[in-house]
Structure formats: structure tokens, C-alpha cells
Structure 1
Amino acid sequence: MNSPGQAPRAYTGFDRMPIGGEWRAGGSESVAADTNPYTGEVLTEIPLASTGDVDRAYRAARGAQAEWAARLPGERTEVFLRAIRILDERRREFVEWLIAEAGAVRFRAEFEVDLVRGVLAEAASFPSRVAGRILPSTIPGKENRVYRQPVGVVAVISPWNFPLQLSNRSVAPALAVGNGVVLKPAGDTPVTGGLLLAKLYEEAGLPPGLLNVVVGKSSEIGDAVVTHDIPQVISFTGSTPVGENIARKAPLKRCALELGGNGPLVVLDDADLDGAVDAAVFGSYVHQGQVCMATNRVIVDARVHDSFVDRFAERVRGLRPGDPTDTGTQIGPIVNGSQFSQVREKISRAVDDGAQLVVGGDPLGPTGLVLPPHLLVGTNRVATAAEEVFGPVGTVVRADDERHALQLANDTEYGLSSAVYTGDVERGVRFAQQVRAGMTHVNDTTINDDPNTAFGGEKASGLGRFGGDWAIEEFTTDHWISVQYTPRTLPLG
């Protein structure tokens, strides 16, 4: 027991994963080293899950789900309220893990923990918000009832960039409305993306077997996670090609997919340029640009383009790359060598295609994975504008006028988040309504995430919505039950 005011003892045992209420080593022959992307330090080594582990996890989730769904709403709510209290007590521990494993700088790690807390608070209300309907019938004496029920078991596959939040964003609502869950976190962030979250729920009193975590190679267990016959919903956050592959392999399952993005921030001719620069700097460079909602392109009206670029470049040059444990650091490491190489290759191709490199720099840090912020000016066709970069790179694109800016903003296969800056709010709203995206923010950055609203994308950016009532709909199903109160005369009777 901890003394009053004493920090709780840190969680341990991250060389195991929770399957069927027991923390156990994975059954495959592979062992993965989980490393710190800045220092290269091995944080833990995990014997990885096998396809047999995936099957056990799903069967355990199904076995625990019915009793959990039958609990009174207040009982399920209390688990989430306890989880919030525990998260508050362990806030520093969660922040340190995000810095060490995900390469998050300190303020970014704090931001992610706040997001997780918000999702827990929203999910705590879900058990009492699941509601059915009573509908009239064209048949005399009949009543139609539509009950909203949990789907049963949900598969959650989460990415490495905001691992704790993007896992919990699906895990919390799925559990809250009465489902069991099998979570597969990304290989780069198995602790913050899954194991740490499981420890939190376990301490909060979630019944054993309800939340199972399988840490394994996608090449070995990915198909088993997606095609297993037990899960009815697959919630995936990640790249568009992987999401499309999941949809092909599980055509009869409901897929909630949050995929790639190419977020435009449009600066109109009447915008507050200082405010727009603030939004662009945050949107392009927070967490090294490794955010699905990142400002990939800043589309600026020609009348203010040069002034904007000058101000933007000055701010970017002042950003501080380095050690994410240092409170002054603003740009930390890219998550791994492969991702680092992809980012540099896109910068190189953009320059080869005529983009001007306004701000750049050489790699830093013990592992060489800290890429200083880069800023380019080019067309909508250069690689860093046409493709999702997922690195600390911003590209400014000149627009002739408002109509041209809208054309440029929509000239992408993606449609996740977007933003527009203008001195006239209603002009901004009219512009936003014409953007082909799931989310558009007026006089703000492209990076916004409230737990009670409709988060999601259009086009190649995904299917479905996360958050609030939309999350309840994603993780429940309707069951029509009719009651015939008076005898009914049937044609063949």
C-alpha cells in the first residue's frame, strides 16, 4: 500500500501481455526489443504473440463480455471514474513513458495524457446514454421496439504516433457500451499503445479477460486479428493502404477506419497573419509532424503570401530540436529509421521538383533520428505537399485567390482535417462548407480533438466517426423486436 500523498509504485511486467485475465508471454518464437527512439536504449523485450494467442484473446473477450454488458450502467461508469483518478495519480508515469517510447517532447506527452483523460470522462457517460426507440407500426396491435446493444467484441488496431490516445479513443467507448476488446498496438509503441492502458484498466477494476492485448508482428498475426470470426467491429487507425487492405479482408465486418491525411491550412487575404503563423507552426511541427491531422500544406493567398512566408520562416528557425526529456525541446526524434528515411526522401524529391528549401538542418541526437524543422515553398504537386509527410516539414503553396485556394485544398485524395484563417468568421464558415473533409476549423489549427464530437474523414481518409454519440453508434448495433399485442390475421391462417 502507498502512504497518503506518496506516488503509486510504478507499473512493471511489460515483458508480458494480458490475455484471458493473465499476463503471459506471447507464444511465438520472436522477441521484440522496444527501444527509445532518441537514445536507442532498450526499454523492454517482449516475447511476441502468436495466432493462437489471438484466438485465446478473442475467446476470452467473448466469454467475459455478456456479464459485463449485463452490469448496471452505474457499475460500468464507476470503472471509468476510477480510471480517471488513477490516471491523475500516475500522470507523471504516463508522461515519462510517452517521452521514452514515443519520442514525445514533454508538453506533447502532457497534451496526450489530457486527451486520454477527456476520453475517459466522456466514456464514463456512455453506459447511461445507450438508448433504443419505440416506433409505430402499420400493423394493428403491433409495437416496434429497437434496442441498442453492444456488438459483442471489438478489435482495435492502433498506431504509434499518439499511441495512448489513439488506442483509448476506441477501447474506452467500446468497453463503456458493454463490449469486450482485443487491442493490437503498434510494434514501435507496445507499452504506451496497449500494455500501459491495460494496467490502468486492470487497476480500475475492469473484469479480467474483457480487455486483451496482443503484441505481435503484423506479418504474423495481422490477418488473424482482422479475419477472426468473433469480432464484429474492427477499429483501425493508420495508413490508407493498410486500412483498405483490412476492409478487403473483412468485407462483412463493420470497419471504423481513421486513415491518412494531407491537411490544408488556408490563409485568406484578410487573415490575421500572426494568428495564422501560430496555427501553421503548431499544426506542421507538433510531435515532429507525426500527426494524422497535421498541417501538411499551408495554402496562402498571393496578396499575403510573401509576408506570411517571412513570418513563418522566422518562427520555424526558432524551434528547438533535441532531447525530448529536456523541457526546452520542441522537436524530438522521429519514431524509427524507416520513417526518418521516408521523410528525408520526400524532402529531396520536393526540392528536385522545384520547391525552395527555406529552412532545413542536419540530423541530431545519439540515434540521429532528430530531424530539425524543415520549411519549403512550392506547388501543390511537390512531394511534401502532394503526399502525407508525417515528419517535421511544412510546405507553403501560393494561391491566386479564394477560389483557387479552395481548389488547391480539395486537390488531394485525402479528406481528414483542414483549417481556414480569415478576418470574417462567416466567410470562413462558407469556405469550410466547401472543403471536402471530415473536419474543418475556422481560425484555428488543423489539429483539434474533442471527445464529444464527430472525428473522422472523407475520401481516402477513412470511414465512420469517433467521439460522443458517433462512438456509441460505431460500437453498438440495433435489434428490432416487435410485440404483437392483439391477434393478427395472416393471409395463410
Structure 2
Amino acid sequence: MKTYTSQYVNGEWKKGSSDKTIENRNPYSDELIATIPSADSKDLDEAYQSAEKAQQEWKEKTPAEQREIFLKWIEVIKERKEEIIDWLITEAGSTRVKAEVEYGAALDIVTESASFPTRMKGEILPSNTPGKENRVYRNPKGVIGVIGPWNFPFHLTTRSLAPALASGNSVVIKPASHTPVTSGLLLAELTAEAGFPEGLINVVVGRGSEIGDDFITHPIPEMFSFTGSTEVGSHIGELAGKHIKDTALELGGNNAMIVLEDADIDKAVEAAAFGKYLHQGQICMSLNRFIVHEDVHEEFVRKFKEKAESLPYGDPKDEKTMVGPLIAREEVDRILEGIDKSIEEGGKLLTGGKAEGNVLHPTILTNMDNEKTLAKEEVFGPVASIIKVSDEQEAVETANGTPYGLSGSVFTTDVYRGVEVAKQVNTGMIHVNDQSVNDEAHVAFGGEKQSGIGRFGGEWALDKFTTVKWISVMNGYREYPF
């Protein structure tokens, strides 16, 4: 595999100017992949200056010229599929299944975004002033700052990068320190190969303590896209708001699957296992809580335990592995502590609860409620909390008993009933007879409450990465009262 140790600024690979470094390590073996000299505020300023200059030229290209480069980008992604998947396994601890899912999602968002240059439509509206015509033009916002995450690094960075570029913006990426290649440097190389102009995409790998706040407060960028924790997102929103800058924030979740008494339990268990244990539960949309009607609780618990214990775990390079490592040891320790606390509070360990290195065994806790630690918090790991309820109303109230509202699930054989229940759950996305981890490039994606601001996907992403301008035109001249 190629070693990435440089920043990518104004079309050139250059050494970071900071005297600090970032160690890129394999989360399964702890092997050192590379040591990257960090960017400092000087590198960041150069990146933003380059992006500002390149954007002025990029926005003037015809839709056909922009789309042609996007089509080449799609070809490059397809040609280098195995390399991308290898990096996701090595750097992010992805299993083969998860890496394939992530690759497909990223490819879809680039393909969807390729249509955006011809979808930058405006409007002509009537006026109450005789002889006047109101025109509304859609324009790019300018320079977009993208902060990449480490859990789905390639897709979630691309989910902002592609629509931002396709709507005429330039981008500066600050990738996650755990995954600087898949959430930044590899994307820089792929877009360069596709033929995007120099300076249009820049990647600065740096510590949050050194350039994190400067990334937001720099005078050039107009908007920031961040996927990550609610705590960090709140800080970003505070800084951006202080400087009157826009944000798209996709934050944490404490997502619930409601299993009603008429549900197909076998199908619910299959969906539960995927929605909980894909990428070890390190997904903002992962299922944390399983809210199960008392009439089917015993059956669900028994079958879910059997399913969880059947999942192969270990080395993500082994294609049979379904549950790989957590991103870092501190995450393992955090979750093990949460398991202990939940048991002290009255929860019962049904299975799992042990770790081998950074691999935490698939774990299930029963006798849980919203006040117990790992049902109250976003787990971001392979731990399921099962909560028994007596009726539909209690199920909805329990699902809503969290400050988060990202995704969710309802299982019932009555689809109409499922939709009516789904309407009552205060969340940005929810899926009937499916699990919570869904992301389609053309559909609105985002959360309510502390799970985020704004929507990604399709026309909603286009709205987020553009602004509109009102220009009125008089046919003749109007009379004024003075």
C-alpha cells in the first residue's frame, strides 16, 4: 500500500509545517501505518487561500465541463475499488462486508452529485409591483470546510465533498486523525486523478488542538460540514454561529428498534443483528436500544442471543469476520466500563462483555431502561440494550426518551400500523420492517434534536451547499411617493 505522509494543498503534496505528528495505526494490530507531520495554521491558511482562488474559476465552468470531471471521478473510484476497500480494512478496522457497503454508498453519492451541475435551477416569481419581475438565482456558497469522521471515513467525507463540488464550491478537508487516508488523503489523490483543478480540493491533516478552532474561525470558508459526536458538533456550531457561518451537522444517535407484538421475530432478529453489529456498532445510525413488547420479549431475547453468538469476530482482513476491532483501545475501555455500570444499575449481561485486544465480543444487556448507562448514552460499540414494554404507547414514549433523534426502526406485520408508530417517533429517519442503518444518495438524510442540523442527500444537499439571490427587474420605471 502507498504510504501517505504529506498534506495536499493547491494541487501539491507537501510536508506539514508543524513540529507535531499524527501516528496512523491499524486498529486491529496496532501496527504503525505511517507518521504524518501535522499541518499548522500557516498550512491551513494556504489551503483556504488556494480553495478561494480555485472556486472562482470552477464556478464559471459549464455544467458539461463539471459533469465530465465527475464522470471521470466515478471511473477512477471503480478502477481503484480494491485499493479503497483495503484501506478501509487496514486503517478503519472495517470488515469486508462493511467496506463493501461503504464503497457502494460513496460511489452512489458521487453518481448522484454528477447530476447537480444541471440542477442548479432558479425561479421567476410574480411581483405585486406593476411591471416588475422577480428572479431567484441559485449560486454556490464558496469555500466549504469538511471535517471527516473515522467510522465511515470514505463515504461520509465524500457525502459532503461530492455535492459541494458539484454545486460549484471548493473544499478544504480536515480528516479524522484516526483515518487521515480514507477520510482525506486518498480522496485528494482520486480527485486529482479525475482532473479536478488544482486548489479546488485541499486536505490538511492536523491535530484539533492546533488547527481545529482555526479551521472554523478562518475568514474565508462560508460553511462547514461535520459528522461526529454531538459534543464536538456543538462546539463547531458555537464557533460558526459566532462568525455567522453556516453548518451541516450530522451528530450522535441513540437509535431504537421497536418490536411490536405482531412482528415477525425471525426477521426482526436478522435486522437487529445487522443494525447493531455492522462495523461493531460504530455508526451514528446503529441500533442502541431494542424496545420489545412483553408478549414477544422472551422469544426475541432468545433468538437474538443465538444470532449474536453466531457472529464471527476478530481480524477484519478475514472475509468471514462480521465484527472487527473498535477504532482504539480507549473506546474498548470506555464501553467495558459502561457495561459494568449498567450491570451495577440492574442490567443483566446476557452474552459477551469481553474483549480481545480492540475486539469487543458482540454483547447483549437485558433488564435495561432509559436510565441505565448504556441505554442512556450513544454506545458506539457492539452492545445491545433490550428494554421490555407493555404496549405501543410505552414503546413510543421510550423511543422518544432521549435527547437524540437520528434514525430508528419499527417491526410489525401491519405496515399501516408501522407507519403510524413511525410518525410518532421524534427522529429524522425511521424505517418500517428494516433496521436503522440506511443511507441512499437521493433521499433526505439527517436528524432532529441533538442529532444534528440540516439534511444530506439529493436536492436537500443541493439546497444546503448553495445560496439563493433575489434580483428584481422593472420593465419601465415605477412611481415613488416622494
Query: TM-score when scaled to structure 2?
Result: 0.98
Q: Distance in 2 between matches of 1:245 and 1:294?
A: 23
Q: Distance in 1 between matches of 2:266 and 2:370?
A: 23
Which residue identity is paired with 1:279? Answer: A
Aligned to 1:128: 118
Aligned to 1:202: 192
Q: Distance in 1 between matches of 2:125 and 2:414?
A: 44
1:187 paired to 2:173? no
Task: Return the match for 1:328 from 303, 313, 320.
Answer: 320
Question: 1:13 deviation in Å?
Answer: 5.3
Aligned to 1:348: 340
Task: Return the match for 1:432 from 389, 410, 422.
Answer: 422
- SS of the residue corresponding to residue 355 of structure 2 reads coil
Task: Return the match for 1:266 from 245, 258, 272.
Answer: 258
Aligned to 1:72: 62
Question: 1:380 deviation in Å?
Answer: 2.2
CA contact (8 A) 2:145 2:221 kept: yes
Q: Distance in 1 between matches of 2:424 and 2:228?
A: 26
Aligned to 1:5: none
Q: Deviations over 1:142-194 (max 9, x none)?
A: 11110000000111112100000110000000000000101111100000010
- SS of the residue corresponding to residue 291 of structure 2 reads strand
Which residue identity is paired with 1:471? Answer: A
CA contact (8 A) 2:332 2:355 kept: no
Task: Return the match for 1:410 from 400, 416, 435.
Answer: 400
1:32 paired to 2:22? yes
Q: Distance in 2 between matches of 1:481 and 1:66?
A: 21
Q: Distance in 2 between matches of 1:358 and 1:336?
A: 25
- SS of the residue corresponding to residue 243 of structure 1 reads helix
Alignment of 1:382-461 (within 5 A): 382-461=372-451
Question: 1:14 deviation in Å?
Answer: 1.0
Q: Distance in 1 between matches of 2:21 and 2:231?
A: 27
Q: Distance in 2 between matches of 1:61 and 1:221?
A: 17
Question: 1:141 deviation in Å?
Answer: 1.3
Which residue identity is paired with 1:376? Answer: L
Task: Return the match for 1:374 from 360, 363, 373.
Answer: 363
CA contact (8 A) 2:175 2:184 kept: yes
Task: Return the match for 2:211 from 221, 227, 246.
Answer: 221
- SS of the residue corresponding to residue 479 of structure 1 reads strand
Aligned to 1:158: 148
Q: Distance in 2 between matches of 1:47 and 1:230?
A: 24
Q: Distance in 2 between matches of 1:399 and 1:198?
A: 49
Question: 1:228 deviation in Å?
Answer: 0.9
Which residue identity is paired with 2:365? Answer: L
Aligned to 1:241: 231
Q: Distance in 2 between matches of 1:190 and 1:414?
A: 28
Q: Which sections of structure 2, spanning at least 5 residues, go unmatched? A: none
Which residue identity is paired with 2:121? Answer: A
Alignment of 1:274-293 (within 5 A): 274-293=266-285
Question: 1:361 deviation in Å?
Answer: 4.6
Q: Distance in 1 between matches of 2:371 and 2:266?
A: 27
Task: Return the match for 1:119 from 104, 109, 114.
Answer: 109
Q: Which moved more, 1:17-26 or 1:450-459?
A: 17-26
Q: Deviations over 1:232-274 (max 9, x none)?
A: 1111111111111111111111111000000000000000001
Q: Distance in 2 between matches of 1:348 and 1:485?
A: 74
Question: 1:317 deviation in Å?
Answer: 0.8
Question: 1:490 deviation in Å?
Answer: 2.0
Which residue identity is paired with 1:373? Answer: P
Q: Distance in 1 between matches of 2:425 and 2:216?
A: 33
Which residue identity is paired with 1:479? Answer: K
Q: Which sections of structure 1, spanning at least 5 residues, go unmatched? A: 1-9
Question: 1:197 deviation in Å?
Answer: 0.8
- SS of the residue corresponding to residue 452 of structure 1 reads coil
Q: Which moved more, 1:446-455 or 1:375-384?
A: 375-384
Between the two proteins, the alignment pairs up a number of residues equal to 479
Q: Deviations over 1:311-345 (max 9, x none)?
A: 00010011111111001111111001222211111
Q: Deviations over 1:194-236 (max 9, x none)?
A: 0011111110001010000111000110001111111111111
Q: Distance in 1 between matches of 2:409 and 2:236?
A: 29
Question: 1:408 deviation in Å?
Answer: 0.3
- SS of the residue corresponding to residue 223 of structure 1 reads helix
- SS of the residue corresponding to residue 303 of structure 1 reads helix
- SS of the residue corresponding to residue 430 of structure 2 reads strand
Which residue identity is paired with 1:264? Answer: A
- SS of the residue corresponding to residue 199 of structure 1 reads helix
Task: Return the match for 1:52 from 25, 42, 66.
Answer: 42
Aligned to 1:318: 310
Q: Distance in 1 between matches of 2:250 and 2:317?
A: 30
Aligned to 2:8: 18
Aligned to 1:3: none
Q: What stretches of structure 1 move > 6 A for 4+ residues in a row?
A: none
Aligned to 2:245: 253
Aligned to 1:360: 352
- SS of the residue corresponding to residue 23 of structure 2 reads strand
- SS of the residue corresponding to residue 360 of structure 2 reads coil
Q: Distance in 1 between matches of 2:3 and 2:301?
A: 49
Q: Deviations over 1:10-68 (max 9, x none)?
A: 6x451112111111111111111101011111111111100111111111100000111
Q: Distance in 2 between matches of 1:395 and 1:78?
A: 48
Aligned to 1:106: 96
Q: Distance in 1 between matches of 2:3 and 2:273?
A: 39
Which residue identity is paired with 2:239? Answer: K
- SS of the residue corresponding to residue 304 of structure 1 reads helix
Aligned to 2:161: 171
CA contact (8 A) 2:125 2:135 kept: yes
Q: Which moved more, 1:143-152 or 1:133-142?
A: 133-142
